[in-house]
Structure 1
Amino acid sequence: MELPHIGKNCQLEHCHSLGIWKLFIDAEVACPLCQQTYCGEHRLPLDHSCSQWSRVDKQLVQCDTCQHLVKAPDAEKLTPEASLEKHKASNCKFYLYPPNGPIPKINRQCTVKGCKDIDPRVGPIRCDGCEEDFCLRHRHPSAHRCKSLNDDEDRKRDRKLAAQEKVAKTFTPPVKKPKIKSVAVKSKNGGMVELMKIKSQAKGSASVPTSSRIYLYVQCPKESKLDFQSVYFDKLNSVGKALDLIADTCKVNNKNHTLSPTDPERLELYKCPEMAVLDKSCSLEKCLKNLDTVLLERQGSVSIEEDNDQ
């Protein structure tokens, strides 16, 4: 970014670039012949078609090492070529033009390969992105393909990904929650007549005292191809024990003792119609009551439906 309050504009008609000479030296840079101010690219007489070039009788030459004008004193009567040779031999210190206020040679060169355009008056300009020295023409990151440009692209990409992630978390689309498809209960009204009816047909162990019995309807697994069963158990028994007895009644292979809790072949006892999995360590009287319906089924065979409610 240029600083409009510092320096002067290049006086070349088609340029007018703003100079920044006062940032680096006390005096403004001007053409040594016509004394007009120019930018770094047009500072030398040959770069701006200097109107005073002819009056020096073509005795000025430009050093390709320090990029400055060279002229030997008239008393030495040296040719321009000889002046340039002695100038270079003096490590670019002698025969500088104009002779007043000699300009020291800048040892550091522009980092861009093959470029020797560092102005002796201004000196090298350090890039904040890569911390390398450049001439005026290559001082901008885009002009020397600065590595900081890639860093900027990485930061932009990271900010974009972070923004997308935040938007995704803020505007999460509704998720359809899966739920177990309910199974109809066998009991109609749960009244005394219903209880008397199930007591007359329920199957169970005769050793269970009448006062300790709990009467249930059992929906057998699909693989058993059996319909509802009316059974009774000791209400003090655990759900796990009742599951084993029901599996025997339905004649299905029960390998729960060898299967992991998430194995699809594992048998579970579900309370209908809410299809809640019964805790195997819980006693029957704590989680069930007379005339309740339970379903024995393998985890992987339970029907699933989508619930749109949130």
Structure 2
Amino acid sequence: MELPDIGKRCVHPHCKQLDFLPLQCKCGKAFCSEHFIIHSQECELSKFLSDEELKTIDSVYVCSNLDCKERSIIPLICEKCKKHFCVKHRHLTECDEKTEEMLKIEKEKYAAPMRVFNAAKAAVDKQLESNLNEAKKKSKTRDLANKVQLMKIKNKATGSKSIPTADRLYFNITYAEKTTPVFVSSQWSLGRVIDAISQEMRLQNNNHKATEKKLKLFKKNDHTVISNNFSISLKSLLEDNIIIDGDSLVIEYVDNSDNI
């Protein structure tokens, strides 16, 4: 016995079956689930369906990309892996399934040349520093070596952007075998310079505490302390040739009782 008031018949000319849960297109026509998919590919009004509308369709395809949840009623099946991908990912996805070992080998393929490059660069930098240090020991080449080092430091140095360019002094600062190029102001006191350097190098600075170890600056070549007077200006140290622009210095913690 037919129940004509329940459900609707599919309007597809070759179907006409009574569907108790018909799918109605935005154009107003009702279809069974099979013919709704076919119709939706041609109907201009059904191109953009809401999530709720998609949920009512049995044959909904979810993108196979792990980071994508895009759903579609139109299958876009890859010929190689036979998986469905949305339009965004269908040409960006590699079809071959890769094991952890395969991924490890692939990563190593790209990482190995970088390690070789970094090792070669470190060796060249070390040799250049050695050559500069040797050149500084010779009076004929000392000034040129200092200029070369200053240019290298300027390209990488970090510091407060508020310091006028004319007041900037550049140094290579070494702590625990790590060297950081920095710039400070020639108008600052030695104490303020140490504060700025410790901030750039992320060092704990307890110079304001009487009982704690103090941070001090030393010449790298002979490890002589720059000064125990933190109030002296950097400009004065420069004028007295105790330091030079582009110098290599070492920052260290020393006991408060030490008078180095």
Output the TM-score relative to the length of structure 2: 0.38
> Which fold has the larger relative contact order, with Cα–Cα distance below 8 Å and residues 6 or more apart in sequence?
1
Q: Which has the larger radius of gyration?
A: 1
Output the TM-score relative to the length of structure 1: 0.32
The structure with the largest helix share of the pair is: 2
